[in-house]
Chains A and B, each alone.
Chain A
């Protein structure tokens, strides 16, 4: 089965840039979506199709995808960005949907 690997945690100072990676075999050939989940809340879509943002999501959130790694970048990090972040893809070989292991972003 297809596996997506994320770092368990990323720490960043306010105003700096956070980069969250999502590793998977030839992930560059897939559409990657990213979700933000704050404690006790449902996930929220922040980036879809590798690099597009839903309406209402700040431009500070951006994404890229190439080779075996997709990346979610949060620029000018704010305290409100502290949350868990998950990447997600569709595995066409199994018709299953796969989430990454999740990354906890801590704002110092």
Chain B
């Protein structure tokens, strides 16, 4: 059974940093591209970042580029999102998602999400 379990969310002050983790199981993690998607309270889904299967290629939404870094450890079956210079508008539930195929594939499995709150 495919499982994605996020952790690392919490309350952080503006300007602070946080690292999210997504532990994967039930599939060959190293074969799949992975994404982070966020959802502010009461709002829609917003794509954040993508990493390819071996970690050599990444992409970021304009709103987080230069502040967030996506990475992965295929030996540990874990996806990460390092978030720096956090702003109030980064407050959201952050989901990790597996993508089927590459580039234009669908997000076929999602984690349950972890809440990040940026507030003083």
Q: How far is the CB of B89 from chain A (nearest CB, A)?
A: 17
Interface pair A102/B107, CB less than 8 Å apart: no
By a CB distance below 8 angstroms, the chain A residues around B47 are 88, 96-99
Interface pair A42/B113, CB less than 8 Å apart: yes
Q: How big is the B interface, by class?
A: 20 to 34
Q: Which of B44, B61, B103, B111 contacts A90 (CB 8 A)?
A: B103
Q: Which of A37, A45, A84, A98 contacts B106 (CB 8 A)?
A: A45
Q: List the B residue with the shortest CB-CB distance to A42.
A: B110
Q: List the A residue with the shortest CB-CB distance to B6.
A: A42
How far does the alpha carbon of A48 sit from the alpha carbon of B47 in the complex, in Å?
17
Those of B39-90 within 8 Å (CB) of chain A: 44-47, 50, 59, 61-62
Interface pair B45/A43, CB less than 8 Å apart: yes
Q: How far is the CB of A75 from chain B (nearest CB, A)?
A: 21
Q: Which of B59, B103, B110 contacts A43 (CB 8 A)?
A: B110
By a CB distance below 8 angstroms, the chain A residues around B103 are 90, 92, 95
Q: How far is the CB of B42 from chain A (nearest CB, A)?
A: 11
Those of B81-107 within 8 Å (CB) of chain A: 95, 100, 103-107
Q: How far is the CB of A23 from chain B (nearest CB, A)?
A: 15
**A61 interface residue, CB < 8 Å from B?**
no
Stretch at the interface among A13-21, A27-35, A64-72: A27-35
